[in-house]
Amino acid sequence: MPEVTIKIGDRPFTVSCPDGEEGQLEAARAILNAEAQVLVAHAGRMPEPQMLLMSGLMLADRTITLENRVKVAEAEVERVKQTLKDIPPEIKTVTKEVKVPTIPSALFESLAELSARAEAAADSLEEKVAKPVV
């Protein structure tokens, strides 16, 4: 297990790290260092144990908040799952193909004939209206 030197709050620390876990260690270091930098910026130089304790407490507080949010989200997911169970099976079935009925040719022909007769009646009416009365 190699030893790695990391910096937190501008202070070096040597820690052991399992092979292949260096990326995870660097990510954790960056998070802890960000908290330490906030403390250093507000309080100036402070003893190492106090800086690490306060940084850890700030991260623990953030972790508690996130865990509570996760619990709320998990409860909402469970509520949605229960709601989905209550959907009737016929609604759950998704039809991939919609069949549209076609107009029977006889009906189409009848409509065309009615349309032609209506046009002829309209033409006849126009002629009668247009003729002057003698």
Q: What is the pLDDT of residues 47-93, one digit of tens each?
A: 888 888 988 999 999 999 999 999 999 999 999 999 888 887 777 67
Asked whether the whole model's pTM tops 0.75, one would answer no
- Number of alpha helices (DSSP H) and beta strands (DSSP E) in the chain: 4, 2
| pLDDT tens profile 21-34 | 989 999 999 999 89
Q: Give the separation between CA 2 and CA 11, rounded to whole angstroms.
A: 20
Output DSSP code: residue 98: -
- Gap between the Cα atoms of 131 and 134, Å rounded: 9
